[in-house]
Chains A and B, each alone.
Chain A
Amino acid sequence: MPVSIEPLPTSSKSTVVLDGATVRLAGDSGDGMQVVGGQFTATSALHGNDVATFPDFPAEIRAPRGTLAGVSGFQVQFASTDIFTPGDTLNALVAMNPAALVTNVSDLEKGGILIVNSESFEPKDLKLARLETNPLEDGSLDEYRLFKVRLDTLNREAVKDIEGLTSSLQDRCKNFFALGLIYWLFGRDLAATLRFVEAKFGTKPEIVAANEKALRAGWYYGETTEAFDHSYQVEPAQLEPGTYRNIMGNQALAWGLITAAKLSGKELFCGSYPITPASPVLEELSAFKHFNVRTVQAEDEIASMCSAIGAAFGGAMAVTSSSGPGIALKGEAMGLGMILELPMLIINIQRGGPSTGLPTKTEQSDLLQVMFGRNGESPLPIIAARSPGDCFEVAQEAWRVATRYMTPVILLSDGYIANGSEPWLIPSVDELPQIPVEHPVASADGEPFMPYQRNEWLARPWALPGTPGLMHRVGGLEKEDVTGNVSYDPENHQHMTNLRAERVARIADDIPVQEVQGPSKGKLLVLSWGGTYGACTTAVRRCQADGLSVSHAHLRYLNPFPRNLGELLEAYDEVLVPELNMGQLRLLVQARYVRKVVGLNKVKGKPFTVSEVADKIRQLLG
């Protein structure tokens, strides 16, 4: 049964125009908050807003229902202006139960809209949330605009006539009722979500009908209830012209990898072992066999790294994706990839550490791990994505570097980027730069093949098995320069170590100089990398608008650093490095450029808020 996409009546209530809003949908992890959050994002993006999201969910698949540990939330900021973060404080919060309320309400602005399911505040619910009194009655929510909605009853009422729907299935639609209400509140169109519902549940007509009814009932509830006397409107943003779609970080990364393979005329191989938050990359790639993508779900992290090396030796575009704990296991094989001088990508989607740490939370604490976490002198280039859409470009750039310099390249992302989403300007495939890759053939004059002969990039030839006359053996033992034969010669070892370091260092000549937003010299430079891009950009812009002398440089290349970085740092009295770790980039910068920099450090499993960074800037300039 197709859903009816008939348009809604125009709201009869007045609307208030806003520049933007930040909304969080929070409930139990079984309440489907991630689904409706994703829908709200997609619909807002389709509406033309700039959007940024922050899904936040527990590590347990089904934590005990109704408990604080089981709360799952999805935050969306949408605006008619450029935005870079999912927002600091909430303008509206939907709380499906007391646990969701208590864990989230402190982020809601005073006077903000608070919508709660008033029927989930029974004594047993309060107890699960460790509440002694009912916050809906004890006055603790007085400073918010509280809307108590009898969600259970209203939703059941809406779907009661649908045949074949058990009462538990009826209740499962609650999230769509809540979404309908939010759609009314912000003047959103239902069409995209209705199409989604049909595509997702098409084979189960009763579920399609129920979700549609719930969504519409939520919308009409907003329209008819006296509780809401006006709705809000956020106009489309002035984005660069072109066709857009909404994209998540891990999806953009997978697409970037497929694109890089195409642009280099290679077939993509991904050997990975499931790990949060990197698994979606393997999952996404597994679905792209029609792009000649081959995936192996290896028996462990070590095997996944080794399978990638094997595939690289065979001439594929080889990739392995993981997170910190997995990268730790891959370490020895990464060293082999380094000394074999074969191109491949090693993706680390960072999560909270150490050890198993906080699997579903974000952190940037693996920078030193990927920089140094191997035995011996083992330098590898490191490139970091700054936002969900940026993963697409970074994947291609990493592969360009890997093939030109014949080296494994480490690509850093993090849980925040991986699960976040943003509007993405769809590129024209024809305009994407090709990634040239060459393989040698035997010389006509019968000269013996030298597997460690280097070109102007200090890269050795990528000779593929199957090529007559180029038979050679590679391995983890130190090699003689040029011939690649095993060598224990002391001078040779020093020489090869120098060469391997020099080869990575030279990449600095081949990457763009570091750009700065703001004055090219002055009192303060904010130097950031990775997923803190949005918070740092917004904070610096805000402070600049307030007339403060502050500039911002966001690093994509962590090893080697851009060639002008040292000079650039010299142009400022002070340098601030905000990082979601205890000072890892700060350590590298201080060691490399022998100058003191200030850190802003946090490891709470959450991204920086804009005000955390802005406050620090103000404090330093104060």
Chain B
Amino acid sequence: MRTELPVLKAADFASDQDVRWCPGCGDYSILAQMKKTLPSLGMPREKIVFISGIGCSSRFPYYMNTYGIHSIHGRAPAFATGLKAVRPDLMVWVITGDGDGLSIGGNHLMHAIRRNLDINIVMFNNRIYGLTKGQYSPTSPIGKKTKTSPMGAIDNPLHPLSIAIGCEATFVARSVDTHIKHLGGVLQRAAEHRGTSFVEVYQNCNVFNDGAFDYVTDRQTKSDQTIELEHGAPLVFGKNRERGIRLNGLEPEIVELGDRYSESDLLVHDEAAVEPSLAYLLSRLRYEDGFPEPIGVLRAVDAPRYEEVLNTQVTAARDQRGEGDLTSLFNSGETWTVT
């Protein structure tokens, strides 16, 4: 007997709950792209689980017609670890934010990534605390004035991609809430990657941090201030693809293409490089330092997945010792009989 999988549409993934983000919030677009991407993955809805922590982004699971857990602040990766360990058949998404994932939940994020469970972590980075109404977050820039930093934030910001690569994440990518097509493509690649996928999405919080990513989204400037990564291609950017990035020793530098430099002088992107240094270098190209920020897949390599190794051990133990038997366990070692 053959059962055809029903063909699903984006609308099939919408739950019956009203979406309650502020009008104009970047989260809507990410939700829309997720609903659009999932049908193409061929995974039935009941096999998908969304797990989130606390924050605006973490309302996400309520809006998906899949299984879901809206958990506690920062801990979503830990729930995903337990779930995936016992249910490798499920597709597990972790939805987190910059505060949830990098502040209160930094430890869990780091450990989920280094274990390389086959899960997809999407971090909505709006560089602010939205749900608690506008305090600075671990990704807010120095000097950011907020309710809790009236004279400007003095904490050095964390950079999500650098952290993920530092933990040797096997898939690391960045997209932007308003780059709809690009975002859909990145989510699809993340879902298809076997291992922990870490995706940072620049997300505009139009209420508490409006315009934080204008430099990336503004039509006039975006091609000068972002660089779209393509595997195997040189790092070229600019409205007329007139500039590029080359390595000067270990330092990246921007060069004008023309007489002095041609594309063959430029750094060539290799997302499959086993050594994570190139990806790390890309993650450090920052707007505030005068660089275009990379968008796309920084790293995609293959490595053993935690749940697979765990289950291999379980199988190996059964093969070596036979299926566990309680009676022989209880009677193992020294026993004596009273009559």
Contact = CB atoms under 8 A, between A and B. Distances in A.
Contacts of A426: 330-331, 335
B259 to A, nearest CB: 54
B65 A255 contact: no
B329 interface: yes
B47 interface: yes
Q: With a 10 A CB-CB cut-off, give which of A42, A259, A303, A469 has the most chain B CB atoms.
A: A303
Contacts of A239: 338
B152 interface: no
B324 A315 contact: no
B327 interface: yes
B321 interface: yes
22 contacts: A195-B334, A240-B338, A290-B321, A294-B86, A296-B81, A298-B78, A302-B78, A302-B108, A303-B78, A304-B78, A307-B79, A310-B69, A313-B67, A314-B82, A314-B83, A333-B75, A426-B331, A429-B326, A470-B46, A472-B68, A475-B61, A476-B72
Interface residues of A, number: 70
A318 B82 contact: yes
A391 B68 CA distance: 35
A495 interface: no
A466 interface: yes
7 smallest beta-carbon distances between A and B, as pairs: A475-B70, A310-B82, A307-B82, A291-B324, A306-B78, A289-B317, A310-B83
Contacts of A289: 313-314, 316-318
A192 B333 CA distance: 10
A511 B195 CA distance: 46
Contact of A468 (B44, B51, B80, B327): B44
B62 A311 contact: no
A427 B331 CA distance: 10
Interface stretch (A70-78, A88-96, A242-250, A516-524): A242-250
Interface string A564-599: 000000000000000000000000000000000000
B320 A290 contact: yes
B240 interface: no
Nearest to A318: B82
Interface string A249-272: 000000100110010000101010
Contacts of B81: 271, 296, 298, 303, 306-307, 310
A313 B335 contact: no
Nearest to B335: A245
Contact of A307 (B78, B311, B313): B78
B71 interface: yes
Contact of A299 (B107, B330, B339): B107
B49 interface: yes
Interface string B297-339: 0000000000000110110111011111011011101111111
A309 B46 CA distance: 19
Contacts of B84: 310
A486 interface: yes
Interface string B69-102: 1111001001111111111011000000000000
A466 B335 contact: no
A255 B337 contact: no
A219 B47 CA distance: 66
Interface string B33-48: 0000000000011110
A466 B71 contact: no
Interface of A: 42, 45-46, 48, 192, 195, 236, 239-246, 255, 258-259, 262, 267, 269, 271, 288-294, 296, 298-300, 302-304, 306-316, 318, 332-333, 336, 340, 426-427, 429, 465-477, 485-486
Contacts of B70: 473-477
A311 B110 CA distance: 20
B68 A288 contact: no
Contacts of B111: 298-299, 303
Contacts of B80: 310
Interface residues of B, number: 62
A459 B327 CA distance: 33
A499 B54 CA distance: 25
A296 B321 CA distance: 21
B330 A242 contact: no
Interface string B220-233: 00000000000000
A276 B159 CA distance: 37
Given A244-B336, A306-B78, A473-B70, A299 B108 contact: yes
Contact of A290 (B51, B61, B85, B324): B324
Q: With a 10 A CB-CB cut-off, give which of A267, A299, A306 has the most chain B CB atoms.
A: A306
B62 A309 contact: no
Contacts of B311: 294
A466 B324 contact: no
B156 interface: no
B1 to A, nearest CB: 16
A473 B46 contact: no
B248 interface: no
Nearest to A303: B78
B54 to A, nearest CB: 8
Contacts of B90: 314, 465-466
A290 B323 contact: yes
B43 to A, nearest CB: 11
B79 A306 contact: yes
B178 interface: no
A243 B335 contact: yes
Contacts of A298: 78, 81, 111
Contacts of B51: 310
A271 B82 contact: yes
A274 to B, nearest CB: 15
B132 interface: no
B30 to A, nearest CB: 17
Nearest to B54: A476
A76 B323 CA distance: 36
A473 B326 contact: no
A45 B75 CA distance: 47
A473 B15 contact: yes
Given A289-B314, A311-B82, A465-B67, 20 more contacts: A46-B336, A236-B338, A239-B338, A243-B331, A243-B338, A245-B334, A262-B326, A269-B86, A296-B85, A303-B75, A310-B81, A311-B83, A332-B72, A465-B49, A465-B83, A466-B47, A469-B46, A471-B45, A471-B65, A476-B71
B46 A471 contact: yes
Contacts of A240: 338
A241 B70 CA distance: 53
A472 B89 CA distance: 18
Contacts of A312: 82
Nearest to A193: B334
B276 to A, nearest CB: 21
B188 interface: no
Contact of A241 (B54, B72, B320, B338): B338
B327 A429 contact: yes
A292 B324 contact: yes
B86 A314 contact: yes
Contact of A45 (B17, B318, B322, B336): B336
Q: With a 10 A CB-CB cut-off, give which of A46, A465, A472 has the most chain B CB atoms.
A: A465
B323 to A, nearest CB: 7
B103 interface: no
Contacts of A470: 46
Contacts of B47: 465-466
A299 to B, nearest CB: 4
A244 B72 contact: no
B66 interface: yes
Nearest to B88: A314
Contacts of B17: 485-486
Q: With a 10 A CB-CB cut-off, give which of B51, B317, B331 has the most chain A CB atoms.
A: B317
Given A296-B82, A426-B335, A468 B68 contact: no
Nearest to B60: A473
Nearest to A477: B70
Given A289-B313, A336-B72, A303 B108 contact: yes
Nearest to B64: A473
A46 B334 contact: yes
